[in-house]
Chains A and B, each alone.
Chain A
Amino acid sequence: MSTLELPSPLPPSAGFSPYQSLTSIACFHCALPVPSETHFSVKFKGQDEAVCCVGCEAVATTIIQAGLSNFYVERSAPSAAPALSVTLGAVNAAVYNLSKIQSQYVSTSTDSKQAASLYIDGVTCNACLWLAEATLKRIHGVTSAEINYISHRAEVIWQGRDTTLATIVNAIESVGLGAMPVAAGERHATRAKAKRDSLQQLGVALLAMMQVMMFTVPLYFTDFDDISADARHLMQWASLALTLPVVMYAARPFWLGALRDWRTHHVSMDSPVALAIATTFITSLWTMTTGRGALYFDSISMFVFLLLTARYLEASIRDHALTRIERLSNAMPAVAWRLAQYPASRASSETASALLAQGDFILIPTGQVISADSTLLEGVAEIDESIVTGESRPAIHTAGSPLIGGTINLGSPLIARVERVGAASVLAAVARMAERSLGERPRLSVLTDRVARFVMPSLILLAVGAGVVWFFLDASQSFNVSVAVIAVTCPCAVALAAPLAYASATLKTAKDGLLISRGQVLEILPQITDVVFDKTGTLTTGKLRIKQIDTCPAITRDDAIAIAVALEEGAAHPIAKSIRLLDQSEVSAVVATNLCFVPGGGVEGEINGAHYRFGHQKFSCSVSAAFSSVASTSTSVAGDDAFVLSCDGRWLATFQTEDALKSDALETVRALQRAGLAVHLLSGDRVDRVRAVATELGIDYVYTMAAQTPAGKVRYIEQLRAEGRKVAMIGDGVNDAPVLGAADASIAMAAGADLPRLTADAVLMSPNLTVIVSALTLAHRTKKIINQNFAWAVLYNAIAIPLALMNLINPALAAIGMGTSGLIVVLNSMRLLRVRS
């Protein structure tokens, strides 16, 4: 077991200090500007090239010395800056050899060969994948390494006695990329198999369709006498031979679907399709033997091909969404550093993340992924939460704040206490939610199945009816007309109209940072008339920020901060967090003793024998002339927004705080109002403060309700709904869960760690409120596209069925019509993926 002492933040010479001035030279490896006081360089083709930091230098040197310099010639984008672990030296070697990790990621075959899958991270262009592959292949003991250039997934096989998983991961990291072992999953294999199967079926249908056309098109365009009866027969037999694989093999999904429908007494769109294939095929066989009637071989192969194409596209969209989820659930690192004797000792030992339990203390080194949902105990954290929020700017957390497993620590090393592991973690919840929204069928597509139940009998009725009518008009045509009606009707356009559009829209909003957890929210959003916002944590940041510090003449601002910091040492109250975020570079630290926290008041303690209090005005100094004079000059509407510092009952300083509006709150409210929606503000906060926010955002006072209890908020929403309005509630999701439940649609702010407890229809993962506006726009577009799809399906059938009834449709036209009308719906729905936000 290697150990890792808690290091101090990186020395400035490591090149990561944000205070260094930068030159205009771009780093040879990562293309970031080179700091002016550093002198890192690598020799490339006999020339010295400047690099920005020790990490880039190590990586570039490794690549060039390994003889892979071609990477720098071939790449089409600059590399990602290497992970800080490269700079600090790889430390996670031993842990990959733990049996728990071995069993989770490595599969061993009988001849001592071992295999594992890795996600390659930090890939900026195809050359990076080539570099990773070349690196893997050069490791002594690796027998095969293949990277899929689309999924960035590497399958590595090696001789167990020659090398280890740890060596392999470190080798990838040494060339500036990341490698994440992927737990061997059945799901990945079955999905890959399903995709191959459908591609095989699609290919067979395509080939058969083209060849059958070769034989049938000449028959359509020549006079009956130009081709001898024998040749005609030959071509018919050839068509039959080519159609057989289509009916027997390529059309299998439809047969299986119809069989399932039969067993479960539940009609889906597979049944009409199967019926059409069966009728037309049997009719064609009958025609072959009797020599009278129409042949449908070309129609069968064509519409099987077109329908399979539509299915294939739909499956790709789902597959894409599932891959995103899978990557999310694999973001949890394999390795953790446990502080076994904390707080007595800070010695840490590496362990498998899977072995962590609630209450364990962990060390999170700089640049490492956080191994579990935890609470920050020490230090100010700078965390890259982009995997959960989509936001690339780092989030700042102070002691007492929750950290999300799977996010990356960008700042100094941190100590945290594990809160949740495994299935209870935030990432697992996100993955579950995304999976559920994909699996759940919106009401409208359930409705489509009801349509199918109605379509099937009416289709048969129509076909039989047409046959009977034609029997009296022209008995020889009677059967043909019946078959043509079945062949030309396209229920698949109806079947695909809604679900595919919803799948596309769900995937699109998830990419923007709004996770839809209940499918029907996309159906409801376009009907919304009123948007109700909660204030704290929704329109505002929910964090106190110190706006102003007024001090008495006896002490300076820095003294006041020093005393306040000392008194709030270790406290989790929001004011303590905001004080720790103040600039303390000029502050000389003092230590307070006998700290005592008074609920609803503040904190008191002793510094150098004097008794200090910090908290609400009434608690800190009940009578103070000085305080009132300062307070009267303050322009703030604040009352208990002010925190007062006192010494032995005398006023020392006042800390004015505010809960700042989110930077895009105004933009969001304006955009919603421009879209014709009534924007409401509903808050439990005091009237004057709610009014101030409403004024700033341009929300009408009529629509502003302050000082509401949760019950009052529910009543307000129910009243709106009673007036016939459709209400979307946007809140923090934890404190106002019942309020969210009362609205027609609800969106919760993902307050990070609270995510597993959220109950809303959709969760805003992104810190940008404007995503709500783009989601609304997208929901409107989705509705429009579904309407277009339905309109097209109805129009097509309204034209095609009468034509078939009049015996004006030939088999080729029927096939083209049925197939393309389904495909048009698919392509129209896929337009949703390309909407710009």
Chain B
Amino acid sequence: MTESLWLLIPLSVVLAFVIGACFWWAAGAGQFDDLTGPGERILQDDDGVPDALVNKQRETGPDLINIKLPK
């Protein structure tokens, strides 16, 4: 039984280092700077809008800001 320890313990140490390195990278890359935003972005993707419209707007430029104000 104890023989398995010789494999498992070094393995767990290696794993801990890998996980640690992953976390270290993630924190350094700013993955934890904003914990709400990405979740909201997925939920609020504008499914109702056909892609064609979005693409058209991209091509024709910023329609958004040229809306004429009603007098």
A 52-78 to B, binary, CB cutoff 8 A, 1 in contact else 0: 001001100110011111100010000
Q: Mark B20-54, 1 if CB is under 8 A from A, else 0.
A: 10011001101011111100110110111110011
Closest to B10 in A: A238
Neighbour of B58 across the interface among A54, A68, A140, A214, CB < 8 A? A140
Which of A166-174, A264-272, A624-632 participates in binding chain B? A166-174
Contact call A138/B53, Cβ cutoff below 8 A: no
* A74, B47: Cα distance in complex, Å: 12
Chain A min CB distance to B55 (Å): 10
A208 CA / B17 CA spacing, docked (Å)? 9
Q: Looking across the interface, which residue of chain B has its beta carbon closest to that of A202?
A: B27
- State how many angstroms separate the Cβ of B40 from the closest Cβ of chain A: 5
Q: Which of A18-26, A228-236, A497-505, A521-529 contacts B (4 or more CB under 8 A)?
A: A228-236
Contact yes or no, B30 A149, CB < 8 A: no
Whether the Cβ atoms of B9 and A215 lie closer than 8 Å is yes
Bound Cα distance from A149 to B61, whole angstroms: 27
Chain B residues within 8 Å of A70, by CB: 44, 46-49
Q: Is the CB of A138 within 8 A of B20?
A: no
Q: Which residue of B lies closest to A230 (CB)?
A: B2
Measured between alpha carbons, how far is A233 from B67 in the docked complex, in Å?
A: 75
Inter-chain CA distance A241–B49, complex, in Å, is 54
A57 to B44 CA separation, bound complex (whole angstroms): 23
Complex formed: what's the CA distance from A65 to B27 in Å?
A: 39
A242 to B12, CA, bound (A): 10
Q: B20 to A245, Cβ gap below 8 A?
A: yes
Q: Are B27 and A130 in contact (CB under 8 A)?
A: no
CB pair B54–A138 under 8 Å, yes or no, is yes
Do B5 and A148 touch (CB < 8 A)? no
A62-B48 CB under 8 A given contacts A163-B62, A215-B9: no
Residues of B within 8 A of A139 (CB): 62, 64-65
A133 and chain B: residue at smallest CB distance: B41
Contact A58 B36, beta carbon cutoff 8 Å: no
Q: Is the interface of B mostly helix, strand, loop or mixed?
A: helix
On chain A, the residues within 8 Å of B13 by CB distance are 211, 238, 241-242
Q: Which A residues lie within 8 Å of B64 (CB)?
A: 62, 66, 135, 138-139, 171, 174-175
CB neighbours (8 Å) of A138 from chain B are: 54, 57-58, 62, 64
| Cβ B70 vs Cβ A211 within 8 A | no
Interface size, chain A (Cβ < 8 Å):
58
B-chain residues with CB within 8 Å of residue A74 when the two chains form the complex: 43-44
Closest Cβ of chain A: how far from B14's Cβ, in Å?
A: 9
Q: Are A235 and B54 in contact (CB under 8 A)?
A: no
A129 at the interface (CB under 8 A from B): yes
A150 proximal to B (CB < 8 A) = yes
CB distance from B29 to the nearest CB of A (A): 8
Q: Are A234 and B36 in contact (CB under 8 A)?
A: no
**Contact (Cβ within 8 A) B40 A214:** no
B27 and A196 form a contact (CB under 8 A): yes
Q: A427: CB under 8 A from chain B? A: no
CB neighbours (8 Å) of A200 from chain B are 23-24, 27-28
Q: Given A62-B67, A70-B47, A215-B9, are A130 and B41 neighbors across the interface (CB < 8 Å)?
A: yes
| A151 to B53 alpha-carbon distance, docked (Å) | 31
Q: How far apart are B9's CB and chain A's nearest CB, in angstroms?
A: 5
Q: Which residues of chain A in 148-192 are interfacial with respect to chain B, using CB atoms and an 8 Å cutoff?
A: 148-151, 163, 167, 170-171, 174-175, 192
Choose among A171, A175, A208, A231 the residue that contacts B20 (Cβ–Cβ < 8 A): A208
Task: Please give the distance in Å from B47's CB to the nearest CB on chain A.
Answer: 7
Q: In the complex the two chains form, is B44's CB within 8 Å of A149's CB?
A: no
Asked whether A207 is an interface residue with its Cβ less than 8 Å from the other chain, the reply is yes
- In the complex, what distance in Å separates the CA atom of A242 from the CA atom of B35? 28
By the criterion CB–CB under 8 Å, are B27 and A199 in contact? yes
Interface residue A809 (Cβ < 8 Å from any Cβ of B): no
Name the B residues within 8 Å of A147 (CB-CB).
Answer: 37
Q: Is the CB of A171 within 8 A of B32?
A: no
A203 partner residues in chain B, CB cutoff 8 A: 20, 23-24, 27
| Total A-B pairs, Cβ < 8 A | 136
| A residues in contact with B69, CB < 8 Å | 54, 58, 87, 89
B70 touches A57 (CB 8 A): yes
Interface size range on B against A:
35 or more
Q: Which of B30, B40, B65 contacts A126 (CB 8 A)?
A: B40
> Which of B10, B20, B35, B48: most chain A Cβ within 10 A?
B20
Q: Contacts A211-B13, A228-B2 given: A134-B33 contact, CB under 8 Å?
A: no
A607 within 8 A of B: no
CA A214 to CA B46, docked complex, whole Å: 47
Give every chain B residue within 8 A of A285 (Cβ-Cβ).
none
Q: Is the CB of B48 within 8 A of A238?
A: no
Query: In whole angstroms, how far apart are the Cα atoms of A66 and B6 in the complex?
Result: 63
Do B34 and A148 have beta carbons less than 8 Å apart?
yes
B37 adjacent to A148 (CB under 8 Å) = yes
In whole angstroms, what is the CA distance A89 to B49 when docked?
A: 27
A207 & B44 in contact (Cβ 8 Å cutoff): no
Shortest Cβ distance from residue B13 to the other chain A in the assembled complex, whole angstroms: 5
Which residues in A have their C-beta under 8 angstroms from that of B37? 129, 147-150
By a CB distance below 8 angstroms, the chain B residues around A812 are none
By beta carbon, the residue of chain A nearest B48 is A70
Asked if B16 and A242 make an inter-chain contact with CB atoms under 8 angstroms apart, the answer reads yes
Collect the chain A residues with CB atoms within 8 Å of residue B30's CB: 192, 196
CB <8 Å contact, B70 and A58: yes
Contact A67 B48, CB 8 Å, known A149-B37, A207-B23: yes
Say whether A444 faces chain B, with CB atoms less than 8 Å apart.
no
Given known pairs A130-B40, A150-B36, A214-B12, the reply for A67 and B54 (CB within 8 Å) is yes
Residues of A within 8 A of B6 (CB): 234
Within 8 A of B (CB), among A753-790: none
Question: A66 near B57 (CB under 8 angstroms)?
Answer: yes
What are the residues of chain B within 8 A of A214 when measuring CB–CB? Answer: 12
0/1 string, A796-827, CB within 8 A of B gives 1: 00000000000000000000000000000000
Chain B nearest Cβ from A758, distance in angstroms: 37
Whether B46 pairs with A68 at a CB distance below 8 angstroms is: yes
User: B35 to chain A: closest CB distance in Å?
Assistant: 8
Within the complex, what minimum Cβ distance (angstroms) separates A260 from chain B?
24
A80 CB–B CB distance under 8 Å: no
Instruction: Give, as a whole number of angstroms, the nearest-CB distance from B23 to chain A.
Output: 4
Q: How far, in Å, is A208 (CB) from chain B's closest CB?
A: 7
Picked from A61, A133, A204, A228, the residue with its CB within 8 Å of the CB of B67 is: A61
Give CA–CA (A695, B28) in the complex, Å. 64
Query: Is A127 in contact with chain B by the CB < 8 A criterion?
Result: yes
State how many angstroms separate the Cβ of B16 from the closest Cβ of chain A: 5
Q: How far is the CA of A90 from the CA of B69 in the complex (A)?
A: 10
Report the minimal beta-carbon distance from A481 to chain B, rounded to whole angstroms.
31
Give every chain B residue within 8 A of A174 (Cβ-Cβ): 64-65, 67
Among A74, A203, A242, find the residue whose CB has the most chain B CB atoms closer than 10 A. A203
Q: Are A149 and B40 in contact (CB under 8 A)?
A: yes
Please name all residues of chain B whose beta carbon is closer than 8 Å to the beta carbon of A204 when the two chains form the complex.
20, 23-24
Q: How far is the CB of A599 from chain B (nearest CB, A)?
A: 51
A127 contacts which chain B residues (CB < 8 A)? 40, 44
A223 to B1, CA, bound (A): 17
Cβ contact within 8 Å between A69 and B48 = yes
Chain B residue at minimal CB-CB distance from A170 = B65
Closest residue of A by beta carbon distance from B33: A148
Not counting A150-B36, A167-B62, a sample of 18 additional A-B residue pairs whose C-beta atoms are within 8 angstroms of each other reads A57-B70, A58-B69, A67-B53, A70-B44, A140-B57, A140-B58, A140-B60, A149-B34, A149-B36, A170-B65, A175-B64, A196-B33, A207-B19, A211-B12, A214-B12, A215-B9, A238-B10, A238-B12
Question: Closest 3 interchain pairs by CB?
Answer: A67-B49, A149-B37, A140-B61
Q: List 15 A-B contacts (CB under 8 A).
A: A54-B70, A65-B63, A70-B44, A138-B57, A139-B62, A149-B40, A150-B34, A192-B33, A196-B32, A200-B23, A204-B20, A204-B23, A208-B16, A208-B20, A230-B2
Q: Which residues of A contact B (CB under 8 A)?
A: 54, 57-58, 61-62, 65-70, 74, 87, 89-90, 126-127, 129-130, 133-135, 138-140, 147-151, 163, 167, 170-171, 174-175, 192, 195-197, 199-200, 203-204, 207-208, 211, 214-215, 228, 230-231, 234-235, 238, 241-242, 245
